[in-house]
Structure 1
Amino acid sequence: MQSKLEVTNLISPIISIYKALSDEWNNLLDEGLYTYTHSQLSKYYYVNTFLHRWEKIKFTNVYYPIKSKYKELETDFTDLDDLFKEYQYFSLVGKAGSGKSTLVKHIFIQCLKQKLKLPILIELRNLNKADTKSLKEYISKKILTNNVKPNQNILERALSEGKFLFILDGYDELFSDSKHEIRTEIEEFIDLYFNNCFIITSRPGAGIENFPRFYEFRILDIDAKEIPSFIKKMKIDEERERRINDAISNNLDKGIMSYLRNPLLLSMFILSFENHPEIPSKKSAFYRNVFDTLYSKHDGITKSSFPREKTSSLDREEFEELLQYFSYITFFNGEYTFIESRIIEVFQIIKKKVSHLNFDSKKLFFDLRVPISILIKDGYEFKFPHRSMQEYFAAKFISSLKPNQKETAYSRYKNLLIQSEDIGFGFWDISYEIDKYSFTKYFLLPKAKEIITYFSKVNSLKSFQDFAKTLSLSFSFAQNKKGEILNISFDSGIGRQFIYVEEFKIFSLLGIEKIIHDTIELIYKQFPTKLTPEYYEYIIDVFELNKIKDYSEISRYSATLTEMMNEKLFDLLVKKEALKKIEVMCVNLRKSIVKINKSIENQNQNISDLLEF
């Protein structure tokens, strides 16, 4: 009752403002918009967190500010009014566990508190299986109780007034076969209702980076100095907090510390600290420790934690084995959230195929949901505490297979990537950690050879544009006070962002990414340094540079290389042997692949020799 009252009190001021606008707004609120807003805020206001799975806790009490950066601007989204005025459309791009979902909750709540806009959250994955991909129809069904024509007309007029914030969550979770259609639908919706504010969230590498009109805000890791403040926010007992801080401060020089700057992994460490007070040397060890804690205690953050009875009679090893099967089946089918019937269906498949695992599916579901709490309810669906745990169990399953079975599994995963752009680099990192040679042999090397073959066919403007698009290359430059172009560089793709591009990630894991990096640098050095329409017509038109009279300050601009490349610029690059540089790059990459193959063969031979002793 108290929580409902708090939610009502929080939204009452902004609802009153909107009701006073017109009778139509009154009607729209009565016909479902108020109910939607109240329901969504209730979902966010008191939450179960990774560390507080057994109690609802006020979101604002445990929220630690998550920062994002666009160029030189760094923000924690406290003052949304100024931000929306400057950046009406922006994307939030962050890796697994960076806090995208948490930040969305914060923005939703702050938007209502500051009486700025009515926030509407759209989980884009729901459009994958929707009868229609129409964003407008989906929104209408979501917020209107009585979805009849008169109400739709009122909604249409309200949308045109620009009083909404649309949060389009999870662009990376769109299926590849529907992504183009949904992306087009999003762009057309924004074209129609351009006065509203829009946020799109995504993991890196899903194609959101160069979305038209959107400023890309990158979610930052927690600063090492902020870790103690983050831990304090988690509301654990003081003695435990002190020991965790001591353990971290005594290991500041370890490379593993970079893991603890990720909110998810830091939360995992806090959870598992009682059972595993050491800081593990590998990321996969985090997940092993977390599962061990979840299995042995219902709650690893308080002194009063105690084991809960499990009804399925499976032991720890059997639970872990079953989770590996379950994760492999679901992850390799692109399933990250599950309804109860699907979970039971997968359990039945496992039970039929793995004869030594004897369990009742309903009891097993209860155990994973309640005493172990590794399947978390989210609305009408269930999911892992974080998708990276699903990736961990799937990778663990493959690492235990025979070589020929591993080849089959990794080949299947390679085919999955063709169907889906939701890459899941967490799976790559863990597979490389725990199954390095097989993952390299059966996945990384075949993919690398395919990419090299693709790169070697760059011989025209279109193929060069595709090459640039594949590597997410952008063209960045500055103008000095005289209006002259300077500091041409590629700030999108290479380096900070490039590790999230599938093609570069592969060569990065193989340790030969520098070959590509150096080649791209050489190509960019061939670009003209004078901003003439002959070569830079696209940039001049887009940024209206020909209208600028006063160059009192140095300005910086950026555009995708695919967009700005034209015939004349391409011909110039050809004359300066840019294509030959790509050819040389492919030759050097092939030579490196041969060396890596030889290294794997030698390793296998060494292991065979050891078996003879």
Structure 2
Amino acid sequence: MKYYFLFYLVWRILIAVIPKRNALLPNAIINMEEKVLETLVVGFTKVLIDEAKTFLKDITDIGYDEIMQYIGKDLKVYLTKHKDKYSHVKTLLRGNTPVYLYDIYFPSKLLDGLKIVNTESGVDLFNKYNCITIIGDAGSGKSTLVKHLFLNSIYEKKFIPILIELRYLNEGTISLEDHIKSTCNINKLSTNNSILERLLDQGKFVFFFDGFDELEERIKQKIIKEINSFVSKYVCNKFVITTRPFSNIENLPLFTNLRMKDLTIKDGEIMGFVFKQLSQEKELAEKAYKSISQGDTRHIESFLKNPLLLSLYLLTFQSHASIPDKKYIFYRRVVNALFSEHDSKTKLGFTREKRCGLDQEGFEEILKSFSFLSYFEDQFAFDVDYAVKKISLIKNKKDVKFDTGLFMKDLKLAISLWTDDDGQLSFSHRSLQEYFCALFIAELKDDENKRVYKKIRQTFAIKGDGHSKEVENLLDLLKEKDEYNYSKNFYLPLLRDLNIEMTKPSFQTGGEILLNFFIEGFKLERILYSRGSREETTTRYSLRLLRRASIYETIYVHINYTRELDRYLYKEIRTNSAISDFILPNFSDNLTIKMDSDDVDIAVKSDLIDPSINLTQITFDDLKFEEVYQLFDTKILNDIYANLMTYLKLEIDSCSKFIKKVEENERDLVDLI
């Protein structure tokens, strides 16, 4: 085994000295890397056993055999199983064939503000941050980064990695802590619980909570509270949450928000990514990168900064050596490539058999309906029963016959549009589901088209802030594919409704209108903290804004301005003691106010809190709105309002002229016959 470790060190040195563009290692070295990884679990568990013997020595009823059972067998089984699972991935470029992660993994970077954070070493990352939220758009590489950090934790023998895919908590039958402990305690042995608790107290774990944005809205607040509680209880460990932007997780007090860094031409990342993905096709890689680097750089960077979109571009490159200016054309090319061109690229003259008997048009007709239904039912990963039920419903509605089982197999094997992860089906990427959903909506008759856009507005109102980013790609596709109906049935009505709200004559100034529209008061959030021993648990409260529920229906229009307002108000809450001095006494007289650089925290011993006191929220019904308004900089509030109103006027004028022009052009053309 020692020779594997020696070779691994040599391999790492080679990686460091070979230029990224030419870092195309021989297959023998890549395969050896995979074999070396197999030995790391054994070495890691041995280190853990040696460490455990020291910090478990004071527990008299736990002997060496129990330690060996839990760490040397149970935990080893978990790490081995998940090492195998996370070290192989499926990519659109490689069809549905699993490939070794480090054959295609290009190191991701994170941003802490403007500071670049490297992720090649988990130890280095977690020495800087105990708790991080990794925020990135769809396809930015969040889940792939987590898989790398999981494997890297085994390699560096520092932390026991536990990856929790949060979507599995949507059923709501088990708490987060119970789910975590069930995951860690594989064989459910009672002695394991004592060892597990001590490992947790010693900070031996790094927990990856992957895909917060995939949680259903009804359960998000519950999971946020459970994450807060678990982190505070076992604060010595390391914690990572991944999410799309604006999912309402970014304000967790113990977590630092890090964002996925975009790929850029300037930093050589697009070139490095291209050559990594096409490491076995160097000539193709050179041509693909040349097509990118010699184009309009600004346009290319805005379109190909995302690893997924860049991968999709490479997939379609041989047939279309140019970058389209619209997203839906881009996805159309990808779908065409997956249906027919991808196999012929590597297997001359070969087209994979579609066993269900449908042609591409037939597949797409079913997929459009399925994507529409599943998208609006928040089903982004679904089991076989769900898929069969929906496909059968669509078959009956469309009166078309084919074998559902073979249809699903074709989507996984012949076309690679779907993936299968232990019985959980999903599109190769969620954006493809959004593409087919957009096609379905764009083809609806006018009345039904209006109903769908009304449903989207209602969903904004229900789901709140996070939904604006979640639905952004779908709305972009709809705007490109069917701008007339998008403008007439969705965007212009939103603009006009918000304009009415912003011009109500209830207040004297625009700043007052804005503040009253955005918030209705303040709330205190209760957070449990434990430092070291859990006997020292304290309860702290953070002063937060109580936003009006009504703002969310039109948030797609005003989000940039209310986000600016949000940042300003929180800055004032955190730094202006006059605000907290005015607001907090309305909650309770028993709170000790402590100002710090991050928040207004009211820290008290948990046993001093009277549970009968209502600490939840206070509204403008209890506070004088005029006095609250004067606590803030009224010029800043009025400026934000003025900018929003200028934007609304320009957008209403532009959108109205576009609709009128389309209608006039159609009428003029019909008049010609």
Give TM-score scaled by structure 2 length.
0.74
> In structure 2, do the counterparts of structure 1 residues 578 and 545 end up closer, same or farther at CA, with 3 Å as the change threshold?
closer
Query: Could you say which residue in structure 1 is the equivalent of 2:544?
Result: none
Query: Could you say which residue in structure 1 is the equivalent of 2:448?
Result: 405
Number of residue pairs the alignment of both structures matches: 558
Q: In the alignment, does 2:145 pair up with 1:103?
A: yes
Where does 1:200-215 land on structure 2 (aligned, <5 Å)? 200-215=241-256
User: Aligned with 2:414: secondary structure?
Assistant: coil
Q: Distance in 2 between matches of 1:597 and 1:249?
A: 35
> In structure 2, do the counterparts of structure 1 residues 417 and 27 end up closer, same or farther at CA, with 3 Å as the change threshold?
farther
Q: Distance in 2 between matches of 1:73 and 1:247?
A: 30
Residue in structure 1 matching 2:388, options 328, 344, 354: 344
Structure 1 window deviating more from structure 2 (339-348 vs 286-295): it is 339-348
Check the 8 A contact 1:117/1:164 in 2, yes or no. yes
Where does 1:107-506 land on structure 2 (aligned, <5 Å)? 107-132=149-174, 134-224=175-265, 225-234=268-277, 235-253=279-297, 255-297=299-341, 299=343, 302=346, 304=348, 306-355=350-399, 357-420=400-463, 421-422=466-467, 423-449=470-496, 463=516, 466=519, 505-506=556-557
Q: Distance in 1 between matches of 2:320 and 2:260?
A: 29
Q: Distance in 2 between matches of 1:575 and 1:361?
A: 62
Q: Distance in 2 between matches of 1:398 and 1:44?
A: 36
Q: Per-residue CA shift, 1:125-156, capped at 9, x if unaligned?
A: 11111412x11110122232322544334323
Check the 8 A contact 2:46/2:72 in 1, yes or no. no
> In structure 2, do the counterparts of structure 1 residues 572 and 610 end up closer, same or farther at CA, with 3 Å as the change threshold?
same
Q: Distance in 2 between matches of 1:602 and 1:314?
A: 40
User: Aligned with 1:370: secondary structure?
Assistant: helix
Return the letter of the residue paired with 1:605.
Answer: E
> In structure 2, do the counterparts of structure 1 residues 574 and 246 end up closer, same or farther at CA, with 3 Å as the change threshold?
closer
Q: Per-residue CA shift, 1:108-134, capped at 9, x if unaligned?
A: 1111111120111111111111412x1
Larger radius of gyration: 2
Check the 8 A contact 1:90/1:214 in 2, yes or no. yes
Check the 8 A contact 2:565/2:637 in 1, yes or no. no
Q: Distance in 2 between matches of 1:336 and 1:413?
A: 17
Check the 8 A contact 1:237/1:302 in 2, yes or no. no
Check the 8 A contact 2:88/2:98 in 1, yes or no. yes
> In structure 2, do the counterparts of structure 1 residues 68 and 531 end up closer, same or farther at CA, with 3 Å as the change threshold?
closer
Q: Distance in 2 between matches of 1:309 and 1:519?
A: 53
Check the 8 A contact 1:272/1:290 in 2, yes or no. yes
Query: Could you say which residue in structure 2 is the equivalent of 1:609?
Result: 668
Structure 1 window deviating more from structure 2 (420-429 vs 318-327): it is 420-429
Check the 8 A contact 1:256/1:280 in 2, yes or no. no
Check the 8 A contact 1:93/1:219 in 2, yes or no. yes
Q: Distance in 1 between matches of 2:186 and 2:115?
A: 41
Q: Distance in 1 between matches of 2:317 and 2:564?
A: 45
Q: Per-residue CA shift, 1:352-379, capped at 9, x if unaligned?
A: 0012x33221121121111111111122
Structure 1 window deviating more from structure 2 (161-170 vs 579-588): it is 579-588
Structure 1 window deviating more from structure 2 (13-22 vs 383-392): it is 13-22
Q: Distance in 2 between matches of 1:269 and 1:502?
A: 35
> In structure 2, do the counterparts of structure 1 residues 293 and 584 end up closer, same or farther at CA, with 3 Å as the change threshold?
closer
Check the 8 A contact 1:314/1:359 in 2, yes or no. yes
Return the letter of the residue paired with 1:203.
Answer: R
Where does 1:7-18 land on structure 2 (aligned, <5 Å)? 7-18=37-48
Return the letter of the residue paired with 2:414.
Answer: P
Q: Distance in 2 between matches of 1:314 and 1:307?
A: 14
Q: In the alignment, does 2:585 pair up with 1:543?
A: no
> In structure 2, do the counterparts of structure 1 residues 517 and 201 end up closer, same or farther at CA, with 3 Å as the change threshold?
closer
- Offset of 1:590 from its aligned partner? 5.7
- Offset of 1:276 from its aligned partner? 2.2
Structure 1 window deviating more from structure 2 (319-328 vs 227-236): it is 227-236
> In structure 2, do the counterparts of structure 1 residues 300 and 7 end up closer, same or farther at CA, with 3 Å as the change threshold?
farther
Check the 8 A contact 2:49/2:72 in 1, yes or no. no
- Offset of 1:346 from its aligned partner? 1.3
User: Aligned with 1:51: secondary structure?
Assistant: helix
Query: Could you say which residue in structure 2 is the equivalent of 1:67?
Result: 109
- Identity score, percent: 31
Structure 1 window deviating more from structure 2 (387-396 vs 3-12): it is 3-12
User: Aligned with 2:519: secondary structure?
Assistant: helix
User: Aligned with 1:200: secondary structure?
Assistant: strand
Gapped regions of structure 2 (runs ≥ 5)? 1-30, 54-63, 523-551, 585-592, 601-616
Q: Per-residue CA shift, 1:172-212, capped at 9, x if unaligned?
A: 11111111111111111111111110000000011122221
Residue in structure 1 matching 2:93, options 35, 51, 54: 51
Structure 1 window deviating more from structure 2 (138-147 vs 572-581): it is 572-581
Residue in structure 1 matching 2:80, options 38, 41, 65: 38
Q: Per-residue CA shift, 1:214-256, capped at 9, x if unaligned?
A: 1111101111132222111112412222221232233134624
Report the aligned-residue RMSD.
3.8
> In structure 2, do the counterparts of structure 1 residues 122 and 369 end up closer, same or farther at CA, with 3 Å as the change threshold?
same
> In structure 2, do the counterparts of structure 1 residues 69 and 594 end up closer, same or farther at CA, with 3 Å as the change threshold?
closer
Return the letter of the residue paired with 1:183.
Answer: I
Q: Per-residue CA shift, 1:272-300, capped at 9, x if unaligned?
A: 12222222121222211111011004546
> In structure 2, do the counterparts of structure 1 residues 584 and 347 end up closer, same or farther at CA, with 3 Å as the change threshold?
same
Return the letter of the residue paired with 1:111.
Answer: S
> In structure 2, do the counterparts of structure 1 residues 518 and 65 end up closer, same or farther at CA, with 3 Å as the change threshold?
closer
Q: Distance in 1 between matches of 2:445 and 2:257?
A: 43
Check the 8 A contact 1:68/1:217 in 2, yes or no. yes
Q: Distance in 1 between matches of 2:458 and 2:576?
A: 44
Return the letter of the residue paired with 1:335.
Answer: Q
Q: Distance in 2 between matches of 1:353 and 1:373?
A: 26
Return the letter of the residue paired with 1:17.
Answer: V
Gapped regions of structure 1 (runs ≥ 5)? 470-500, 547-561
Q: Distance in 1 between matches of 2:656 and 2:229?
A: 52
Q: Distance in 2 between matches of 1:259 and 1:460?
A: 38
Query: Could you say which residue in structure 2 is the equivalent of 1:476?
Result: none
Q: Per-residue CA shift, 1:384-411, capped at 9, x if unaligned?
A: 1110010011001111111111111222
Q: Distance in 1 between matches of 2:220 and 2:114?
A: 31
Query: Could you say which residue in structure 2 is the equivalent of 1:486?
Result: none
Where does 1:506-525 land on structure 2 (aligned, <5 Å)? 506-507=557-558, 516=561
> In structure 2, do the counterparts of structure 1 residues 151 and 466 end up closer, same or farther at CA, with 3 Å as the change threshold?
farther
Give TM-score scaled by structure 1 length.
0.81
Check the 8 A contact 1:270/1:301 in 2, yes or no. no
